[in-house]
């Protein structure tokens, strides 16, 4: 199995019309992605993936405003 993933051209149908199954090219593409990402042997749990960023301090809200010259300005306001 190669260690890289070739992108399947859009002209290749996902389903093989003769068999009704996923085409060989698409199968190889997804199999190589599976192999490159550890073949299901990682130890990341679903709860690890569902953890979000830490909350901002409860006393502040942060806003970004765009000035007329397209520069960004950070503002903080007490709530």
The pLDDT mean for the chain works out to 76
Q: Are the C-beta atoms of residues 32 and 5 closer than 8 Å to each other?
A: yes
Decide if 21 contacts 15 (C-beta within 8 A): yes
pTM of the model: 0.51
Predicted pLDDT of residue 13: 95
Tell me if 35 sits within 8 A of 28, measured CB to CB: no
CB 62 within 8 A of CB 75: yes
d(CA 70, CA 53): 28
Name the nearest CA neighbour of 23 among 31, 12, 33: 12
| Under-70 pLDDT residues of the chain | 1-4, 53-79
């Amino acid at each position: 199995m190669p260690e890289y993933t070739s992108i399947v051209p859009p002209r290749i149908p996902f389903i093989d019309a003769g068999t009704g199954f996923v085409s060989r090219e698409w199968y190889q593409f997804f199999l190589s992605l599976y192999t490159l990402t550890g073949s299901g042997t990682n130890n990341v749990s679903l709860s690890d993936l569902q953890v979000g960023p830490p909350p901002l301090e409860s006393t502040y809200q942060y806003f970004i405003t765009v000035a007329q010259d397209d520069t960004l300005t950070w503002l903080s306001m007490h709530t």
